[in-house]
Structure 1
Amino acid sequence: MLKDMKKEILGSWILLIMFIIASILRKNWEFLFYAASLIILLILVTLSDKKFNYPKIALYGLSSWLLLHLLGGMAKIGTTRLYDFMLINLIGEPYQILKYDQFVHFYCYFVAAFFVYSIIKSFSKKDSSFTVLAFITVIASIGIGGINEIIEFAAVVIVNSNGVGGYYNTAIDLVANTLGALAALPFLKKTE
């Protein structure tokens, strides 16, 4: 299986293994919990790539997102966890926009849209409307974002983590996910 795996996917597996080791060494049970869901994600990408032949931008995007995610949970700027770090103070309390976490959500679903579009495109007719495919891509990406928020909630419940935030955080994450998927559309249009 390794010899048939694209180097871009292999890179994601290496990052995930590093992520797991770092989580264990730091006793970061919340991120170890996320690693379990990431294993499932990478298995799905690895197996489905044979059928859908994902574009390099999606595969490299996945690797770079994994790195951003790893840094977000493990790195600190001063005493502030990177995920909690305010990149640009666009909107203050109680929304706290634009934090690193929101940027990573935006980027993740920008990348996810490429995966979703590849899958949808493979099942559509050659003359399918881009507008329809784009709509389905964004809606599916939003749905995947909802699953991500359920996983974050499960981390709160199972490992008693409060690092993912509350109601505002969840809602802002969903908005960032949606904006990320929408931002991918002009790039997807260029692949037509």
Structure 2
Amino acid sequence: MNIRTILGNLTPARMLVFGITISYTLAAGVYFSVVGNTEFLGYIAGIVFLILLGGCLLTHECVPVWLLWVLSFLGVLHLLGAAVQINGDVLYNYVPLLIENPTGLTFIKYDQIVHTYGSFAGALLMYFFLVRDTKFHWFGIFVFAVLGSMGLGALNEIVEFIAKLTVANTDVGGYYNTAVDLCVNLFGAVLGAIAAFSFWKRPSA
């Protein structure tokens, strides 16, 4: 892809998404620095990585602007989960709907909603790249969209693990929290892949 093509794909609508995402990330960085939240300063580094990835996505016309907004909104949900306090605790630990279950695990937490949404968005993104650059059968694209999204979710779990090792008094959960996160990631990824095939043109077999 030459520089002329890249500049041609950087439409005002795409640059607006990029500008707003950078703005709220910088604002969050200042806020977490002021309150001394070192854990989420580390997570912002992860969001900066996503912004750099987003900068690459801006140059690909196969990725629609609305999907860039979907990805940017994920960053908003993530930062709100750390910044907003409800009943003396962070929004990430808030339980908007408690579902009784025999496992003793807590469902549905805000954190699980964000994981589901993130994997949903990730599957949409994987779909658009796969359907453009591969000749897989539609089922193969579906499977790899789900697996690719789960891979992005696993990267997030690695970031949380690093935070657990390096930051004192982190709010990151233990083994069960990670396992639940991976399960809701799978759920969100499957929903995202289904949505992609339901609302957009399916690849030919």
Partner of residue 186 from structure 1, selected from 194, 202, 205: 194
Report how far residue 3 of structure 1 moved: 7.9
The secondary structure found in structure 2 opposite 1:107 is helix
Larger Rg: 2
2:184 pairs with 1:176 = yes
2:82 pairs with 1:95 = no
Give TM-score, length-normalised by structure 2.
Answer: 0.85
The secondary structure found in structure 1 opposite 2:59 is helix
Amino acid at match of 2:86: I
Could you tell me how far apart the structure 2 residues matched to 1:32 and 1:91 are? 34
Could you tell me how far apart the structure 1 residues matched to 2:11 and 2:63 are? 18
Could you tell me how far apart the structure 1 residues matched to 2:147 and 2:11 are? 35
Question: 2:146, 2:186 within 8 Å by CA — same for their partners in 1?
Answer: yes
Amino acid at match of 1:87: P
Report how far residue 32 of structure 1 moved: 0.3
User: What is the match of residue 149 of structure 1?
Assistant: 157
Could you tell me how far apart the structure 1 residues matched to 2:28 and 2:79 are? 6
Question: 2:33, 2:41 within 8 Å by CA — same for their partners in 1?
Answer: yes
Question: 1:52, 1:118 within 8 Å by CA — same for their partners in 2?
Answer: no
Could you tell me how far apart the structure 2 residues matched to 1:182 and 1:118 are? 15
Amino acid at match of 1:25: V
User: What is the match of residue 111 of structure 1?
Assistant: 121
Q: Count the aligned residue pairs.
A: 190
More strand by share: 1
**Structure 1 segment 66-85 matched on structure 2, within 5 A:** 66-85=75-94
Partner of residue 22 from structure 1, selected from 4, 19, 31: 31
The secondary structure found in structure 1 opposite 2:108 is strand
Task: For residues 87-130 of structure 1, give each alpha carbon's deviation from its aligned partner in whole angstroms, at most 9, with x where no partner exists.
Answer: 111136741110000001001111111221122222113xx422
Question: 1:155, 1:161 within 8 Å by CA — same for their partners in 2?
Answer: no
Report how far residue 161 of structure 1 moved: 4.1
Could you tell me how far apart the structure 1 residues matched to 2:11 and 2:59 are? 13
Task: For residues 114-168 of structure 1, give each alpha carbon's deviation from its aligned partner in whole angstroms, at most 9, with x where no partner exists.
Answer: 221122222113xx42211010000111111111101100011112243111111
**Structure 1 segment 34-53 matched on structure 2, within 5 A:** 34-51=43-60, 53=62
* Higher RCO (C-alpha under 8 Å, 6+ residues apart): 1
Change (3 A) 1:52 1:91: farther
Identity %: 29
**Structure 1 segment 6-21 matched on structure 2, within 5 A:** 6-21=15-30
Give TM-score, length-normalised by structure 1.
Answer: 0.90
Could you tell me how far apart the structure 2 residues matched to 1:150 and 1:165 are? 13
Change (3 A) 1:160 1:98: same
Amino acid at match of 1:44: L
User: What is the match of residue 171 of structure 2?
Assistant: 163
RMSD: 2.0
Question: 2:62, 2:129 within 8 Å by CA — same for their partners in 1?
Answer: no
Change (3 A) 1:57 1:113: farther
Change (3 A) 1:191 1:161: farther
